[in-house]
Amino acid sequence: MRRWPTSRAVGLCDPQVNPHCPAASGWPGDGRLRLLSFNIQVGISTERYGHYLTRGWQHLLPHTGRAGNLQRIGELLGDYDLVALQEVDGGSLRSGFVNQVEHLAHLGGFPYWYQQLNRNLGRLAQHSNGVLSRLRPSLLEDHPLPGPPGRGAMLLRLGEGADAIAVVMMHLALGARTRTRQLAYIRELIGGYRHQVLMGDMNTHASDLLLHSPLRDLGLVAPQIEATFPSWRPQRCLDHILLSPTLQLERVEVLAQAISDHLPVAVEIRLPQALAEHPPLVLSAPPRGNPA
C-alpha cells in the first residue's frame, strides 16, 4: 500500500472504555444500525456569517456557552449506535481542558470512544476527530491523511469475516488537489471490504465524490442530498454518509439542529444477515429511537 508522507505514524488502537456505561452482548435487536456524522465546531454556536468574526475568539479561549451546546449535542446523540465527530477539542484552554469526545461519550451513554488527535497545539488547542460507539470495533486504526499535517481518518471494522462492515470516519481538506490525494489513500484502505461506510465532513459535494474522485469505481451511494452548510441557511452539501450498494438503507435525514455551523447527518441501515445472525461484538443497551 502506498503511504504518503505524514507527520505521525498509522496507529492500531483500542477504543477507550466508558466505565459508567455498562455493556450487554449482541447487535441491535431490530437488526438496524443508526449512524450520525456531525462537525461540532468545538462546541461553538454560529448563527450567521458575522459570528465567524465576533465569536472567532472562542476558537482560542473558553466560553461559558460551550457547556450548554455540548449538552444539547449529547442529548442528540442518544439515539445512535455509531457517531463520527469532526472539529472536537481533546482538552485544552479553549474547551476548559475538557476532552470533548470523552465528555460526549458520557452524555450520550456510549461505552466506547476514541479521540484522533490531528493537530496538537498543547494547552492552546487539541484539534481532533472523534468516534463514539455502542459496538466494540473488531479493528480500529488511526490514519493521518496525505497533505499538510492536521487531517486524519479512522478505520473501524464492525464484525468479522466477509460480511464485516468497514467504516471510515474523516475530515477532508478544503483544497481539491489535496482532497484527491486523501481520497486515494482512503480508497486503498477500504478496497478489500464488501460492506463500506464513509462518514464525515468531506468539504465537497456528493457528485464530486462519486463521479470525479478516486472513489468513483466503488459504486458508493450518497443517500442524502440535502445541504448541510451553513446551518442557519444551508446551501452546500458538505457532510456525508456514503454507503456501498450491499448495505440496505432504511432511513436518511439531515437534522434541523443548528448547534454548530454544520448540520448533522443521520442514516439507518439494515445489518447484513450474516452479522445479525452471528453477533460477535458488544452492544450497550441505550434507549432506542428514530433519527430526529
pLDDT digits (tens, 9 = 90+) for 120-150: 988 888 999 999 999 999 999 999 999 998 9
Looking at residue 287, its pLDDT comes to 47
Decide which of 3.60.10.10, 2.130.10.30, 2.60.110.10, 3.40.50.620 is the CATH code for 11-284: 3.60.10.10
Neighbours of 33 (CB within 10 A): 25
pLDDT digits (tens, 9 = 90+) for 223-232: 988 999 998 9
Q: By three-state DSSP, how is residue 116 classified?
A: strand
Provide the β-strand partners of residue 37: 84, 265
Rounded to the nearest integer, the mean pLDDT of the chain is 87
C-alpha cell of residue 76 = 442528540
SS (H, E, C) 82-110: EEEEEEEECCCHHHCCCCHHHHHHHHHCC
pLDDT-derived band of residue 10, with 50, 70 and 90 as boundaries?
A: confident
Q: To 10 degrees, the CA torsion angle through 109, 114, 120, 121?
A: 10
* Residue with cell string 481532533: 128
pTM of the predicted structure, to 2 decimals: 0.90
C-alpha cell of residue 68 = 450548554
* Per-domain boundaries in the chain: 11-284
Q: By three-state DSSP, how is residue 274 classified?
A: helix
